[in-house]
C-alpha cells in the first residue's frame, strides 16, 4: 500500500466514524428485546374515569363504541395505505374532536367562567419534534394547530390569543366560541358548581376527559397526540397535562409513543408520558412493563387517577389505567379491540 493510499484509508475511516456519530439518535443504549414487527399499529383513548356499565345506557354505550371504531377506521386506512403516523394521529384525533361525546374539540367542557379553553399537543418520534397549544377558544381542531406549531414555527408551545393568531395565519379553521356549546356539558358545569358550593365530595375524575392517539406507520415512525377541553369548572387559565410534552404526550422512535388521560396535575408532577419512555430507555423494560409500573404503581401510590395508551416501535400496545374504565381501542393488521370498562 502506498503512502497516499494509506492516508486516504485513514481519512475515510475518520470521516466515516464522524458520520456515524453525527446522526442524532436520542436513545439507543438500552433496547428492549426484539419482538415481531407489526406492519402498522394505532391506539386511541377517549378519556379515563369512573365509567361503570351500571351507569351507561345501551344506546350511549353503542354511540361510544361507534365513535371509537370510526376514529380507528380513519387512522387505520391512512396507515394501511402507507400514510404517515402523523397524518393518522392528526385525522383520528380530529374525528374525536368533532364528536360531542368526548371532552375535546366540539365536546369540550366549560370553565368556571362558562367559556371553553382547549389544549392539545403533538409529537413526532423520529426526531422528537413537538408542538402544542394551550387555552385556545376559537380553533375548531386544536390537534391541527398543535401540529402546525411543530411544523410551521420555531416554537413548541403557544398559548391563548397568540396561539389563535398563529393558527389563523396558518389558515387553520377558526370558529366562533359558541361552536363549543353543548347542552350536556353546560348542564354538567351547573351541577359541578352546585356540588362545589355545597362542598360535596366529587370524584375528581368526573371533571376530566381527553382524547389521544399513538400510531406506528410502515416506515417505522411513531407519532402521538392528545387533545382536551380540560377540567370542568376550571379557573385561573389552568393548564393541564394534555398540552405538555413529557406529561400528556411523548413520542420517541427508540422507545415508544404515549398519550395520557386523567387528573392532569399528577401527570405533570410525575412527567408520566416521558417517564414511561425513560423507563424503557434506561431500564430496557417492555412498553407493557413501563406503562403498568408508572400508571398502576407510581400513580396509584400518589393517588393520581387516569391512564395512558402506549405503542412501541414494534407495534406492541399497552393501555394501562387505574380507574373504573377508559374509552380505548387499537388496530393492527387483522386485529382490532375496542373497549370501555375494566375487564
Residues with catalytic function: 210
Q: Which residue, 63 or 129, has its beta carbon nearer to a second copy?
A: 129
Of positions 25, 151, 187, 337, contacts a second copy by CB under 8 A: 25
Closest distance of CB 286 from a second copy, Å: 14
Q: Pick the stretch among 78-86, 174-182, 294-302, 309-317 that binds a second copy (CB under 8 A).
A: 294-302
Closest distance of CB 313 from a second copy, Å: 18
In terms of Cβ atoms closer than 10 Å to its own Cβ (0-12, 13-18, 19+), residue 9 is: exposed
Between CA 103 and CA 100 the distance in angstroms is 8
Q: Could you tell me where the DSSP H helices lie in 81-217?
A: 85-97, 142-152, 160-169, 183-197
Q: Does 168 bind a second copy (CB under 8 A)?
A: no
Residues 174 to 203 in contact with a second copy, rule: CB under 8 A: none
Q: Does 49 bind a second copy (CB under 8 A)?
A: no
Q: Does 48 bind a second copy (CB under 8 A)?
A: no
* β-bridge pairing 129-136 and 157-159: parallel
Closest to 44 measured CA to CA, from 206, 211, 176:
211
Closest distance of CB 149 from a second copy, Å: 8
Closest distance of CB 15 from a second copy, Å: 18
What does the angle CA 320 – CA 101 – CA 186 come to, to the nearest 5 degrees?
Answer: 115
Q: Which residue, 193 or 238, has its beta carbon nearer to a second copy?
A: 238
DSSP state of 245: B
Of positions 24, 33, 54, 198, contacts a second copy by CB under 8 A: 24
Q: Which residue, 70 or 173, has its beta carbon nearer to a second copy?
A: 173
Rounded to the nearest 5°, which phi and psi values hold at 142?
A: -55, -30
DSSP state of 31: P
Of positions 139, 271, 318, 340, contacts a second copy by CB under 8 A: 271
Of positions 83, 225, 264, 306, contacts a second copy by CB under 8 A: 264
* β-bridge pairing 256-262 and 249-251: antiparallel
Q: Which residue, 64 or 157, has its beta carbon nearer to a second copy?
A: 157
Between CA 336 and CA 343 the distance in angstroms is 16
Q: Which residue, 28 or 81, has its beta carbon nearer to a second copy?
A: 28
Q: Pick the stretch among 48-56, 95-103, 297-305, 319-327 that binds a second copy (CB under 8 A).
A: 297-305
Q: Does 28 bind a second copy (CB under 8 A)?
A: no
Number of residues binding to a second copy, judged by CB under 8 A? 51
Q: Which residue, 69 or 168, has its beta carbon nearer to a second copy?
A: 168
Closest distance of CB 252 from a second copy, Å: 10
Q: Does 118 bind a second copy (CB under 8 A)?
A: no
Q: Does 67 bind a second copy (CB under 8 A)?
A: no
Residues 6+ apart with CB under 8 A from 59: none
Closest to 240 measured CA to CA, from 216, 213, 221, 212:
212
Q: Which residue, 38 or 156, has its beta carbon nearer to a second copy?
A: 156
Closest to 253 measured CA to CA, from 287, 290, 298:
287
Q: Does 110 bind a second copy (CB under 8 A)?
A: no
Are the C-beta atoms of residues 250 and 277 closer than 8 Å to each other? yes
Residues 121 to 160 in contact with a second copy, rule: CB under 8 A: 123, 128-130, 134-135, 153-160
* Residue 235 vs residues 135, 157, 241: alpha-carbon distances, Å: 11, 20, 15
Residues 6+ apart with CB under 8 A from 256: 214, 222, 250, 276, 277, 280, 287, 290, 310, 311, 312, 313
The sign one gets for the Cα dihedral 201, 203, 209, 214 is positive
Give the torsion through C-alpha atoms of 310, 314, 316, 322, to 10 deg.
-20
Residues that bind a second copy (CB under 8 A): 22, 24-26, 123, 128-130, 134-135, 153-163, 165-166, 234-240, 244-247, 250, 264-265, 268-271, 274-275, 278-279, 281-283, 298, 301-302
Amino acid at each position: 500500500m502506498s503512502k497516499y493510499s494509506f492516508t486516504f484509508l485513514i481519512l475515510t475511516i475518520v470521516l466515516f466514524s464522524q458520520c456515524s456519530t453525527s446522526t442524532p439518535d436520542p436513545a439507543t443504549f438500552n433496547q428492549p428485546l426484539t419482538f415481531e414487527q407489526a406492519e402498522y399499529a394505532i391506539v386511541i383513548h377517549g378519556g379515563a374515569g369512573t365509567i361503570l356499565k351500571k351507569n351507561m345506557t345501551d344506546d350511549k354505550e353503542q354511540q361510544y363504541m361507534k365513535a371509537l371504531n370510526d376514529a380507528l377506521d380513519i387512522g387505520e386506512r391512512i396507515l394501511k395505505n402507507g400514510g404517515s403516523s402523523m397524518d393518522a394521529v392528526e385525522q383520528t384525533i380530529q374525528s374525536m374532536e368533532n364528536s360531542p361525546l368526548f371532552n375535546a374539540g366540539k365536546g369540550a367542557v366549560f370553565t368556571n367562567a362558562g367559556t371553553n379553553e382547549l389544549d392539545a399537543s403533538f409529537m413526532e418520534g423520529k426526531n422528537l419534534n413537538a408542538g402544542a397549544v394551550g387555552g385556545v377558544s376559537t380553533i375548531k381542531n386544536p390537534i391541527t394547530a398543535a401540529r402546525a406549531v411543530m411544523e410551521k414555527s420555531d416554537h413548541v408551545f403557544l398559548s391563548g390569543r397568540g396561539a389563535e393568531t398563529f393558527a389563523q395565519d396558518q389558515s387553520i379553521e377558526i370558529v366562533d366560541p359558541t361552536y363549543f356549546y353543548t347542552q350536556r356539558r353546560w348542564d354538567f358545569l351547573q351541577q359541578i358548581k352546585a356540588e362545589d358550593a355545597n362542598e360535596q365530595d366529587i370524584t375528581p375524575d368526573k371533571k376530566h376527559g381527553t382524547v389521544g392517539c399513538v400510531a406506528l406507520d410502515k416506515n417505522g415512525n411513531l407519532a402521538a397526540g392528545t387533545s382536551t377541553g380540560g377540567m370542568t369548572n376550571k379557573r385561573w387559565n389552568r393548564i393541564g397535562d394534555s398540552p405538555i410534552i413529557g406529561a400528556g404526550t411523548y413520542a420517541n422512535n427508540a422507545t415508544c409513543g404515549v398519550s395520557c388521560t386523567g387528573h392532569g396535575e399528577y401527570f405533570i408532577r410525575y412527567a408520566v408520558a416521558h417517564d414511561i419512555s425513560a423507563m424503557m430507555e434506561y431500564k430496557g423494560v417492555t412498553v407493557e412493563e413501563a406503562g403498568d409500573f408508572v400508571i398502576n404503581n407510581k400513580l396509584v401510590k400518589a393517588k393520581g387517577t387516569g391512564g395512558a395508551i402506549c405503542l412501541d416501535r414494534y407495534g406492541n400496545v399497552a393501555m394501562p389505567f387505574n380507574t373504573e374504565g377508559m374509552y380505548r381501542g387499537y388496530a393492527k393488521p387483522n386485529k382490532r379491540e375496542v373497549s370501555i370498562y375494566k375487564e
